Amino acid sequence: MSKRDFLTLKDYTAEEIRLLIDDAILLKRLRQKGRAVLPFLSGFNVALIFEKPSTRTRASFSVAVYELGGLPITYSAQELQLSRGEPVRDVARVLSRYHHAIAARVFRHSDLEELARFSRVPVINMLSDLYHPLQALADYMTIKEKKGRVDGVRVAFIGDGRDNVFNSLAIAGVKLGARIRVASPKAYEPDPEVLGDDVYSKIEIYEDPAEAVRDVDVVYTDVFVSMGQEKEREERLKAFLPRYQVNSDLLKKVGRDDYIVMHCLPAHRGEEITDDVIESGNSVVFDQAENRLHTSKAVLLYLLNPHWSRSL
Here the contacts of 85-90 (C-beta below 8 Å, separation 24 or greater) are 88/114, 88/115, 88/118, 89/114, 89/117, 89/118, 90/118
The active-site residue out of 222, 236, 245, 263 is: 222
The active-site residue out of 105, 109, 179, 263 is: 105
C-alpha span between 246 and 190 (Å, rounded):
19
The active-site residue out of 163, 264, 288, 294 is: 264
Strand order in the sheet with 45-50: 71-76, 45-50, 101-105, 123-127
Active site annotation includes 264: yes
Longest dimension (CA), the chain: 55
The active-site residue out of 56, 99, 162, 292 is: 292
C-alpha span between 203 and 188 (Å, rounded):
15
Active site annotation includes 292: yes
Active site annotation includes 97: no
290 CB contacts (<8 Å, ≥6 apart)? none
Calculated CA dihedral for residues 254, 260, 264, 268, nearest 10 degrees: 60
The active-site residue out of 99, 132, 179, 294 is: 132
Angle between helices 56-67 and 285-304 (to 10 degrees): 50
- In order of 181, 214, 243, the CA distances from 220 in angstroms are 10, 13, 15
Active site annotation includes 32: no
C-alpha span between 105 and 112 (Å, rounded):
9
Do 48 and 74 form a contact (C-beta atoms < 8 A)?
yes
- Residues annotated as catalytic are 105, 132, 135, 222, 264, 292
